[in-house]
Amino acid sequence: MGGYRPGLLNGAVAWATVIYLILPITIILPVSLTDQRFLSLPQQEISGQHYLRLLTTPAWTNAILQSAWIATISTALAVVLGTLCAIGCWRLSRRSTDLVRALMLLPIIIPSIAYAIGLYRYFATLGLLDSFLGVVIAHGVTGMPYVVITVSTALAAFDTRLESAARGMGASLPQTLRWVILPRIAPGIVSGAIFAFIHSWDELVVVLFIASRRVFTLPRKIWDGINENLDPAMAAVAVLLVGMTVLLLLLDLMLRRRREE
Amino acid sequence: MSPRGRAALGWWALILPAFLLLTAFYLAPILQVLAISVTEPRPGLGNYERLFTSESVQRVIVTTLRIGVVTTTIALLLGYVLAYRVAMAGPRAQRWWLLAVLVPLWISVLVRAFAWVTLLRRQGLVNEGLLAAGVIQEPLALVWNEFGIVVGMVHYMVPYAVLPMLSAMREIDPRVLAAARGLGASRGAAFLRVFLPLSLPGVIAAGVLVFIFSLGFYITPALLGGGKTLMVAEWIKLQILDLIRWGLGAMMATVLVVAILATLAVFSRLVNLRRLFGAGG
């Protein structure tokens, strides 16, 4: 939109908003490097002691490993089912499949507190409370919308005639999927996987209800930390989380750019 | 069966596993909440009667609506200005602005709440800084109250406000603005009478989205509210985990879900969630 340079006021408020968005998150980096035993900026020198403590305390490392496992498996579940569902809906493309796609968005729209209390009772009858499988299922179901959205977006740019041509030349459905459709939408699938992974890695509300001792994820540990003992190890774990999220987002951005080219 | 019908069956088979998982492990638990709200502690609409008779129930709803409206208003104002700046930037600069919106969007809500606590508490960096600079004599109460909740919630919601408004602004044909200017409109008039009305659908979509997210928000209000200012989600958790009043908690959860779905139904033509998230970067 050339020729319409935003005014000074607009620029100033926009910059202030960006600073408000970014700055509070960056403040955790110096705090995590403090030489003190409490939350503060470094006084004499910067120190890696809190990172060391983080990586040598079994309670923290166990929580990190559990979260990584749960996120990996629930992402796999969400990606496989979400991708197939998006492809089916895209190819059939009628009222009923529009409804299916709308249903798939519910986990993003309905607050997780409502889902969490329902799941708590539901899992109690199924014997899935405080189990690895239970958390994986919950995160997989709630991660599916992200995959359905990104894969549907990728499919929207894909010419249906290619698929018809493949079928016309005698390719079976699995062959068409494997050789024609999936390679075309691979970047969309990876995006979906990244978002489903971040979702599970961060999810707290459901875990607060359906897990207690055996399954203890990283967000749960952070939640307890913020409520009980605010110490610099919290800042260190926050920095690691932010670093991971930024890396994953950059990866996603790179893939998107390649797709656009 | 015709070959066409057989082919359709194959595509339906792709949809089925996701649909079954969603039904068994998402829809069923949600429906159970509805069932609990009318069966416990005894069958009937007794829990819903509380909506009209219980002062504490009404107070929680009013608090939630008030914080939701304040949050939505501020997030829309800041988000609009930011979206406008992004829309007007060149392609290179636009990528950087967009990154500044998307990175916070995906950073853990817990990390953000922790960062705000670090900054805003009594011995936090903001109070220490202001004290050292001599601006204030006593630390200010910046967190564990409604102010802290709004600061944290707006921080969470601004990216969600920016994205739909930005996608609406991108669809505005710049030639329309050039035409307005060419016909003698001042910059201000071109913005107010041409750009602003054309971007309005995006503003409404953003408003609906931010408002419905605010209503059911749990983590940030719980951590930055300090347990004194109760919003609906935390109230539900309190009823169920601490007071074991399942019926009452399930009733409020049902009201919350119905309120959100009703809002979406009313605005369904303007709020395209799939497009919003699909266009998320």
Q: What does B135-153 look like in DSSP terms, one character per residue?
A: S-SS----SSSHHHHHHHH
Give the pTM.
0.92
The yes-or-no verdict on residue B49 having pLDDT over 60 is: yes
- Asked if the C-beta of B102 comes within 8 angstroms of chain A's C-beta atoms, the answer is yes
Cβ partners under 8 Å of residue B257, min gap 6: A110, A111, A114, B30, B33
What is the identity of the amino acid at A13?
V
What is the identity of the amino acid at A121?
R
| CB contact at 8 A, B225 and B231 | yes
What is the identity of the amino acid at B126?
V
The DSSP call for residue B32 is H
Q: What is the rounded distance in angstroms from the CA atom of residue B6 to the CA atom of residue A2?
A: 53
Nearest chain B residue to A243 by CA distance is B107
Q: What is the rounded distance in angstroms from the CA atom of residue B81 to the CA atom of residue A15?
A: 10
What is the identity of the amino acid at A198?
I
> What pLDDT is recorded for position B280?
39
Whether the CA torsion B137, B138, B139, B140 is positive or negative: it is: negative
Q: What is the rounded distance in angstroms from the CA atom of residue A210 to the CA atom of residue A186?
A: 34
- Asked if the C-beta of B104 comes within 8 angstroms of chain A's C-beta atoms, the answer is yes
Whether the CA torsion B85, B108, A30, B114 is positive or negative: it is: positive
SS (H, E, C) B75-110: HHHHHHHHHHHHHHCCHHHHHHHHHHHHHHHHCCHH
SS (H, E, C) B187-200: HHHHHHHHHHHHHH
Q: Where are the alpha helices (DSSP H) in chain B?
A: 3-22, 28-39, 46-53, 55-88, 91-106, 109-120, 125-132, 146-170, 174-182, 187-190, 196-215, 219-225, 232-237, 246-266, 273-278
A41 three-class SS: coil
> What pLDDT is recorded for position A229?
79
Nearest chain B residue to A79 by CA distance is B18
> What pLDDT is recorded for position B279?
40
Counting every residue written for chain B, the total comes to 281
> What pLDDT is recorded for position A46?
87
Contacts of residue B60 in chain A, CB cutoff 8 Å?
none
Tens of pLDDT along chain A (261 residues) come to 444 667 788 889 999 999 999 999 999 999 899 888 888 888 888 888 889 988 899 999 999 999 999 999 999 999 999 999 999 999 898 899 999 999 999 999 999 999 999 999 999 999 999 999 999 999 999 999 999 999 998 998 888 888 888 888 888 888 988 998 999 899 899 999 999 999 999 999 999 999 988 999 999 999 998 888 788 888 999 999 899 888 888 888 888 777 666
Cβ partners under 8 Å of residue A196, min gap 6: A74, A75, A78, A79, A82, A143, A144, A146, A147
> What pLDDT is recorded for position B278?
46
Contacts of residue A122 in chain B, CB cutoff 8 Å?
25, 28-29, 32
Q: State the burial class of residue A80 (Cβ atoms within 10 Å of its Cβ: 0-12, 13-18, 19+).
A: middle
Contact at CB, B111 and A238, closer than 8 angstroms:
yes
| CB contact at 8 A, B76 and B210 | yes
What is the identity of the amino acid at B60?
V
Contacts of residue B216 in chain A, CB cutoff 8 Å?
110-114
CA-to-CA dists, residue A72 to A193, A197, A215, angstroms:
9, 7, 15
pLDDT band at B30 (very low <50, low <70, confident <90, very high): very high
Which single residue is written with the structure tokens 């800042």? Answer: A235
| CB contact at 8 A, A226 and B116 | no
The DSSP call for residue A157 is T
Cis peptide before B41 (omega within 30 of 0): yes
Q: How close A36 gets to chain B, by Cα (Å)?
A: 14
- Nearest-by-Cβ selection for B233 from A89, A113, A137: A113
| Assigned token pair, A2 | 């050339």
- Among A42-51, B66-75, B143-152, B205-214, the minimum mean pLDDT is found in A42-51
Contacts of residue A3 in chain B, CB cutoff 8 Å?
174, 178
Q: What is the rounded distance in angstroms from the CA atom of residue B263 to the CA atom of residue B141?
A: 35
User: Of A160, A157, A149, which Cα lies nearest the Cα of A83?
Assistant: A149
Contact at CB, A88 and B278, closer than 8 angstroms:
no
Contacts of residue B257 in chain A, CB cutoff 8 Å?
110-111, 114
Q: What is the rounded distance in angstroms from the CA atom of residue A207 to the CA atom of residue A201?
A: 11
Q: How close B30 gets to chain A, by Cα (Å)?
A: 5
The DSSP call for residue B185 is -
Return the number of other C-beta atoms located less than 10 Å from residue A123's C-beta: 23
A39 three-class SS: coil
